[in-house]
Chain A
Amino acid sequence: MIQASNISHFYGSEQVLFDLTFEVQSGEFLFLSGESGSGKSTLLSILSTLLKPSNGALLLDGKAVGSMKDMDSFRQSNIGFVFQFHYLINYLSVYENIALAAMDDKKENINKILDELGILELSSRYPNEISGGQRQRVAVARALVNEPKIIFADEPTGSLDSKNSTIVYELLQKAQKNGTTVVVASHDMQIQNYATKIIRLKDGQIL
């Protein structure tokens, strides 16, 4: 469960988020929608613990994010990420990229997930040797490997064609149906078909 209370954020003197308060129940598929500059990526970064908010409180699974001592360990075991530009590490193979994210007791999941996503045969290739759609599937595999409680995706299909976009959405939906909370920030309205909850942002405020 995600509980955000009075979240505000400033970049320098410019305020980009204004006192946002909302809750997301476990197992929901939240779609954060809004135009470019509406603040959805900043909000996603805050919800996913990648950015500290200027003001406000965030509880993930009942734990206050600001007071956690081992944030890195919490992030690794509870949170998965899918970024717009996949952000795979170029000098690591597909398998090694996923292994980098995997906790020791989850490394046995890697081949199973690669197989489920139809990219097992790519495991020894490097990111620059596979297509954009395949890279994004690797990024999804990396997000799923630790069986996280929450997956955050920021414009996960921004660089993909419609066929590959549908594949990524269906993978995220499958994770959600298995009990994972999924939060996607995007301007692609196709996600509405998969979302169970929608938050629309405009100029840093919830509409």
Chain B
Amino acid sequence: MGLMGIASVMSMIVNSRKEEFGIMRALGKSRFFIIKNLFFETLVMSLSAYLFALILSLGILAMLPHIEMLQGYVNGTLSLSSALYVLGSTLFMALLGSLFPAWIASKTDPILLINQGCA
């Protein structure tokens, strides 16, 4: 569910930028330029979000043994393989969620993108 959420949010972000992509295409920027920029933006956003979540998770896991009322109810560990799996799947879903609608948009006439963005 979380991974679907990531793809869905990235897709919404890209769809809300159709007007901007239309303007760039009208100014002569290539499809490759737009998709390349979006790829790096998505990478930076996903890695930042992942690092924030990882630090938060490790912090909470470190605190858990010191909270007496949770003992016996809540515990957990985070293995390296789990962390890498989450990293890989997060990046994959974020890139899928952003690049697929961007690829569809890149095939649309610029003026239609601009008009869709205004709608």
Residue A200 at the B interface, CB < 8 A?
no
How far in angstroms is the closest Cβ of chain A from B74? Answer: 42
Instruction: List B105-119 residues whose CB lies under 8 Å from chain A.
Output: 109-112, 114, 118
Whether B29 pairs with A72 at a CB distance below 8 angstroms is yes
How far in angstroms is the closest Cβ of chain B from A48? Answer: 8
Whether B109 pairs with A100 at a CB distance below 8 angstroms is no
Kindly list chain B residues whose C-beta atoms are within 8 Å of the C-beta of A89: 20, 23
CA distance A85 to B114 in the complex (A): 11
Q: What is the total number of residues of chain B having a CB less than 8 Å from a CB of chain A?
A: 17
Stretch at the interface among A24-32, A74-82, A173-181: A74-82
Known contacts A89-B20, A89-B23; A75 and B28 CB within 8 A of each other = yes
Interface size class of A (residues with CB under 8 A): 20 to 34
Whether A101 pairs with B27 at a CB distance below 8 angstroms is yes
Whether A51 pairs with B28 at a CB distance below 8 angstroms is no
Binding site for A on B (CB under 8 A): 19-20, 23-31, 109-112, 114, 118
Besides A51-B110, A72-B25, A77-B28, 4 other A-B contacts (C-beta < 8 A): A45-B111, A50-B114, A75-B26, A81-B27
21 A-B contacts, Cβ less than 8 Å apart? A48-B26, A50-B111, A50-B114, A72-B25, A72-B28, A72-B31, A74-B28, A75-B26, A75-B27, A76-B27, A76-B29, A77-B28, A81-B26, A81-B27, A83-B114, A87-B19, A87-B23, A89-B23, A100-B24, A100-B29, A101-B28
